[in-house]
Amino acid sequence: MAKNENKLNLEKIFEKNGINIKTLAQVLENSEINSITQISLNSLIPNRFQPRIKFDEEKLKEMAESIAKHGVITPIIVRPIQEGQYEIVTGERRTRASKLIHKETIPAIIAEFSDQQMMELSLIENIQRENLTGIEEARSYEAMKQHLGYTQAQIAKEVGKPRSHVANLLRLLTLPAAVQAAILEEKISTGHAKLLVGLDDQTAVHLTNKIIRENLSVRDVEHLLLLNQPMKNNKKKTQDSEIAQKYTQFEKILIEKLNCKQIRVDKKKIQFKFNSMEELEEFITKVKMN
């Protein structure tokens, strides 16, 4: 009976840590989990697969105040990595908050987790439970593609979100580093960022700075892009413009070289136009002489 009660208590603790019963069952098969133990905060290292990059300092202070009064209510979960050292599976915020008030130990459950389980827990379940920034979420989806081999459809199914949501966030990773940093630091919203996708890098950075400086809303940016057509030039349009300039340069070279004003250079072709047979014969004579 005591063993069953212990299992039920473990299930509740794992559930509070965002770990589903299926994963718990897998871990219990490979681990001898006896009880909650106090471990040194100095023996902990962060979860390598933690999707959250930025932690809200104010919320950490609030949690630290609560821990100072009531202690850590829900034990963190860790896995052993070497003698006397553990990697945090779940409980990064509780660990950071405990360090803020200079606690020496924290209650923990020690269990064996594989790298695959760590990635799934940190990437999938944290996305479902945590209020991540758009960039943190996008990087998590990219990690699921790279490390777990998931397609966009599989990612959407695992995290319980539309495929279009996953696809749109992954596009944020094409933005310049300065814009991604602004999203990460919550200086601009994901809604702002989606409007910047497809703009050339210089325009995207310029508009990001304008959003921050003038505190523009998403609607303001939409209106600005509609009114100011040059700002809508995306990377493809910029490339097309550069190609068009090259065609014009080629035309000038041929016109000067062949003394023929009606030459048009376009994609995959050069056009010569003549008003009469005499003009054509004259042109051919010049080509032969060159």
92 carries an active-site annotation: yes
Question: According to the model, what pLDDT value does residue 107 have?
Answer: 92
Of 15, 32, 92, 137, which is the active-site residue?
A: 92
Q: What is the number of other CB atoms lying within 10 angstroms of the CB of residue 26?
A: 16
Is residue 168 domain-resident?
Answer: no
Mean pLDDT of all residues belonging to the chain: 80
Are both 64 and 36 inside the same structural domain?
yes
The CATH number of the domain where 102 resides is what? 3.90.1530.10
Is residue 127 domain-resident?
Answer: no
Are both 222 and 261 inside the same structural domain?
no
pTM: 0.58
Given a cut of 80, whether residue 14 has pLDDT beyond it is no
Question: According to the model, what pLDDT value does residue 181 have?
Answer: 93
Greatest mean pLDDT among 58-67, 240-249, 253-262 lies in 58-67
Q: What residues contact 149, with CB distance under 8 A and at least 6 apart?
A: none
Structural domain for 196, as ranges? 176-233
Please tell me the distance from the alpha carbon of residue 168 to that of residue 94, in angstroms, as a whole number.
32
Question: According to the model, what pLDDT value does residue 29 have?
Answer: 60
Displacement of CA 77 from its chain's centroid (Å): 26
Q: Among 207, 233, 259, identify where a domain stops.
A: 233
Q: Write the pLDDT tens digit of every residue in 17-44.
A: 666 556 655 665 655 665 788 999 999 9
Q: Write the pLDDT tens digit of every residue in 124-139.
A: 666 766 677 889 889 8
Q: Write the pLDDT tens digit of every residue in 192-241.
A: 999 999 898 999 999 999 999 999 999 888 888 887 655 555 555 566 66
Query: What is 212-237 written as a DSSP string?
Result: HHHT--HHHHHHHHHH-GGGG-BHHH
Q: What residues contact 190, with CB distance under 8 A and at least 6 apart?
A: 133, 134, 169, 172, 183
